[in-house]
Amino acid sequence: MSKNSELQTPNSKLQTDWEPKIVAFLCNWCSYAGADLAGISRIQYPPNVRIIRIPCSGRVHPLFIMRSLQNGADGVLVSGCHPGDCHYISGNYIARRRFAILKNLLEYVGIEPERVQFSWVSASEGEKFAKVVEDVVEQVKALGPAKRLVKRKADPH
Ligand code: FES
């Protein structure tokens, strides 16, 4: 047994083994296709993301994000088409404005705003998608597990 492992408490071991869960809402027309391209091009990215396909980033209600955090996600990624490319004209602009406001709300209620990330990824940007996922996972890892909105089980005694 090395000197370092002797110093490790069970909690610190858990901390180093911990991997964040990221819920990713991806627009069907661009980012989902970008994720698909990353997959078929065999571009490696962290397996921490759970992808939810949505018709447009403008479809993501802030409650979806809050519910994700409440139900155990440590971070949330919303990704849509680049500005000017939204298939519903302005869905991504609406989403961008909505998330700017949501970040203020998160800060106000004591949740690190960095847990929620927004990005533009097109259908031809498989490598960019992988990079975005890597960045989000790194940022959320640095923050540690999300505890603020997680429901605690009632003590049976
Ligand atoms: Fe992709 Fe609107 S269709 S963001």
CATH number of the domain that 87 lies in? 3.40.50.960
Structural domain for 48, as ranges: 19-140
pLDDT tens readout for residues 44-93? 999 999 999 999 999 999 999 999 999 999 999 999 999 999 999 999 99
Token readout for 135 is: 């960045």
The residue to mutate among 81, 90, 97, 121, having the most atoms of ligand 1 within 8 angstroms of its beta carbon, is 81
pLDDT value for 5:
43
The domain total for the chain is 1
Higher pLDDT, 122 or 3: 122
Farthest CA pair distance, the chain: 61
> Does residue 108 form part of some domain?
yes
For the sheet containing 49-54, what is the strand order? 49-54, 22-27, 75-80, 116-120
> Does residue 113 form part of some domain?
yes
Let me know: does 79 contact 27? Beta carbons within 8 Å: yes
Number of the ligand 1 atom closest to the C-alpha atom of 28: 1
Residue type, 141: K
Predicted structure pTM score: 0.85
Residue 117's SS3 state is: strand
> Does residue 95 form part of some domain?
yes
Let me know: does 120 contact 79? Beta carbons within 8 Å: yes
Let me know: does 115 contact 75? Beta carbons within 8 Å: yes
> Does residue 118 form part of some domain?
yes
Separation of alpha carbons 153 and 157, rounded Å:
12
pLDDT tens readout for residues 95-148? 999 999 999 999 998 999 999 999 999 999 999 999 999 999 999 999 999 887
**Is the torsion defined by CA of 51, 137, 135, 102 positive or negative?**
positive
> Does residue 132 form part of some domain?
yes
Separation of alpha carbons 96 and 105, rounded Å:
14
Separation of alpha carbons 95 and 62, rounded Å:
9
> Does residue 152 form part of some domain?
no
pLDDT score of 42 more than 90:
yes
> Does residue 55 form part of some domain?
yes
* Pocket, ligand 1, Cβ cutoff 6 A: 27, 29-30, 56-58, 80-81, 86-88, 91-92
> Does residue 54 form part of some domain?
yes
